[in-house]
Structure 1
Amino acid sequence: MRKIGLIGGMSWVSTRTYYEHINKLVQARTTKLASAPMLIENLDFTDLVRLSTPEEWARAGDVLEASAKRLEQAGATAILIGANSMHKVYDRIAAGVGVPVLHIADAVGRKMQAAGVKTAALIGSRNVMVESFYRKRLVEHGITLLPPVMDNVEEIDRIIYEELMQGRATRSAERTFRTILTNMGQAGAQGVVLGCTELDMVIDVDANVLPIYDGTRIHAEAAVEWILGG
């Protein structure tokens, strides 16, 4: 098996989810005693949260590029960025290392394309929903995305940062997302992309009103394909 590196800590909750998904998938594909060869660098999210200015994003690029380089030097043969929002600096990170950096939106886009999904909705933190860095990668796979509803954007962003990233999953958040997903289906979405690594805490990925494409789970699947040489 090939060793993979995970840039984590954004948040620690999602890093835990990546670790669990990747190891369970490796066990399912190999033996029940197997563990995934992984290197994890758990960054301090304090200085990487709610970035807004070009200067702040440039600094985030410095931090993540340095992390990727350390993982490569330690033996990682590919890198994962364990946060959707931080894929805004993907190009910087990919250019800074000599190993592949597996893009989460490309993994999701390929999965949806294979399933024949043409129109979808994207939910995640504010920058994932309204900026182009994530949306354009999905569009490149033939997916038409519904425009973001700004009232939803603000409430989803609040739940992510004030609840989920702190490890809290509330009934109120579950009800909010059920309503949002129902409305997205009525607006024509054939599927919904979870563009935040913590959203599975309050959204049932396997049983919902619409097909759910959980970026974290799909990214983990892409990681396992790499680990096993697929």
Structure 2
Amino acid sequence: MKKIGMIGGLSWVSTAEYYRRVNEMTAELAGGVSSARIVLESVNRQDYVTAVIDRQDEAAACAQIAQSAQALQAAGADFIVITCNDVHRFVPAIQRQIDIPFLHIAEVTAKAIAERGLGRVAILGVRKTMESDFYPSVLAGHGIAALIPEEEEKRFVHDSIYDELVQNRFLDGTRQAYQRLIADLGDRGADCVALACTEIPLLLTPEQSPLPAFSTTELHCQAAVLRALGQEG
């Protein structure tokens, strides 16, 4: 079994879900009381937020994640999973600094959408995820178009993540607002939605979505377990 290197802490809430689901899936696939080989590098979210939000210093934020990736390589990880969508914008820069691969969350999500035959996905996540090009570019490589919410919608999604979800607060009113937003995005041409923040599926499950919804957390965990067990493809 390969060792999974996990960069967590962004937030601890989704990191805990990753740890739980990766181990549940490992037991299901490997049998018995099997559990995953994981080495966790947990980032101080406050340091990351200070760099990205307060100082708007992308280089410092990238360096923080790169240090964690290097620590995972030194700890013997075979590949790296980041338990956060927006941090994946740093993957191209960090990959040049290490010798082990990342399992990219957008690639995993794009493959799942393509397998369903869907072609226009609405992206919901923090502002960096919705406004960066890493999701649209990966999706385009699979023949899928990205639909980005409008400004007021982006503000709502971003603020709900920062003010509630990463603080382990999941409110019915917020869930209903997401459902209304997803329905509106469907009216504007989206045929599915990517829950592209690893906390959003803890608020709104795919079964509760008005459109076909893809939990990036669940898909990423599945792919990590399959890779660790040598069962990819």
TM-score, L = length of structure 2:
0.94
2:101 pairs with 1:100? yes
C-alpha distance in 1 between matches for 2:87 and 2:94: 10
User: 8 Å contact 1:107–1:222 — kept in the other structure?
Assistant: yes
Alpha-carbon shift at residue 137 of structure 1 (Å): 1.4
> Which amino acid is 2:183 matched to?
T
> Which amino acid is 2:205 matched to?
D
> 1:76 aligns to what?
77
> 2:9 aligns to what?
9
> 1:189 aligns to what?
190
- Tell which deviates more after alignment, 11-20 or 146-155: 146-155
Secondary structure of the 2:206 match is coil
C-alpha distance in 1 between matches for 2:217 and 2:42: 16
> 2:149 aligns to what?
148
Q: Which runs of 4+ in 1 moved over 3 A?
A: 52-55
> 1:170 aligns to what?
171
> How many residue pairs were aligned?
230
> Which amino acid is 1:145 matched to?
A
> Which amino acid is 2:25 matched to?
L
- Tell which deviates more after alignment, 14-23 or 138-147: 138-147
User: 8 Å contact 1:2–1:226 — kept in the other structure?
Assistant: yes
Alpha-carbon shift at residue 166 of structure 1 (Å): 0.5
User: 8 Å contact 1:128–1:134 — kept in the other structure?
Assistant: yes
TM-score, L = length of structure 1:
0.95
User: 8 Å contact 2:81–2:104 — kept in the other structure?
Assistant: yes
Alpha-carbon shift at residue 150 of structure 1 (Å): 1.1
Secondary structure of the 1:10 match is coil
1:56-135 mapped onto 2 (5 Å cutoff)? 56-135=57-136
C-alpha distance in 2 between matches for 1:96 and 1:54: 24
User: 8 Å contact 1:128–1:135 — kept in the other structure?
Assistant: no
Structure 2: gaps of 5 or more residues: none
Structure 1: gaps of 5 or more residues: none
